[in-house]
Amino acid sequence: MTQRTSRLFRIPAWPRHIPRRPFTGSPFRTVCLTVALAALAGCTAFGSDNSGNSRKNSVYLNERFQADETFSRLFDASVEDTCEAARRALLSQGYVINLAQSGSINGSKRFQPEGEVHVEISFNIVCVPEGGAGKLATAYVSALQDRYTVKRSTNSTSLGVSAIGSISVPLSSNSESLVKVASETIPAGQFYDRFFALMQKMLREQSAPVANGEAAP
């Protein structure tokens, strides 16, 4: 009869010269948690920067809706006379009248400050009555400045010669066009002050009597 001998496997004792450390979890789990927290912090910081920049650059924040008279002026004249003074003021400065209706005027003028830069200024004027007598009117004026630049493009065509075969001669031509690159409502108060002063001058000339004592038409 064969006698079986059982063998016991024992775990070696922890060396005394190496200090024991408490087990806090899997190293892989710890690394993943650290990376996730770092990514979350980065996203939060990135979002706050983007939000701050977009809020700082928002155009609507500059709209104060203040009770000033930058774009409007009260005149001691009727609506017809006020708009007529605005029309004459634009015509005296070389503007082309695009629209002239009762109570509204629209005119434009083109400039070329540089060789390939073109600028167009458009005036939009609206005259409204003030009071019941119709002897006062307010002119609301806004000017839009559009900026254009010259864009060149090359158009290529081919000329086939059937007698020779499949040989084709390329023909190219250059074409230029104006492309709008910017558009802005002119905010300068002095710009409108000069225009309103010219309108006032035109109103005085309209109401000034002529040499024979009759009123000017």
Question: What pLDDT is attached to residue 46?
Answer: 43
- Residue corresponding to tokens 């009248």: 97
Of 140, 139, 143, the closest CA to residue 77 belongs to 139
Measured CA angle at 172 (ends 178, 168), to 5 deg: 155
Task: Answer yes or no: is 94 within a domain.
Answer: yes
Structural domain includes residue 188: yes
Q: What ranges make up the beta strands (E) of the chain?
A: 72-75, 96-101, 104-114, 117-130, 136-160, 168-185
Q: Would you give the end-to-end CA distance of the chain in angstroms?
A: 144
- Residue 163, in any domain of the structure: no
pLDDT of res. 6:
47
pTM for this prediction: 0.63
Please report whether residue 160 resides in a domain.
no
Other CB atoms within 10 Å distance of the CB of residue 186: 15
Residue 213 lies in a domain: no
* Residue range of the domain that includes 102: 68-147+182-207
Q: State residue 171's pLDDT score.
A: 58
- At 190, which CATH number? 3.30.310.80
137 within domain boundaries: yes
State which residues of the chain have pLDDT below 70. Answer: 1-56, 154-173, 209-217
> What whole-number distance in Å separates Cα of residue 88 and Cα of residue 131?
25
Q: Which residues of 137-171 are buried (b: 16+ CB within 10 A; e: fewer)?
A: bbbebbbeebbbeeeeeeeeeeeeeeeeeeeeeee
Note whether residue 157 is domain-resident: no
Contact 92, 84 (CB under 8 A): no
The answer as to whether 52 is a domain residue is no
Residues 83-107: pLDDT tens digits?
999 999 999 999 999 999 989 999 9
pLDDT at residue 131 in the model = 86
Q: How many domains does the chain have?
A: 1
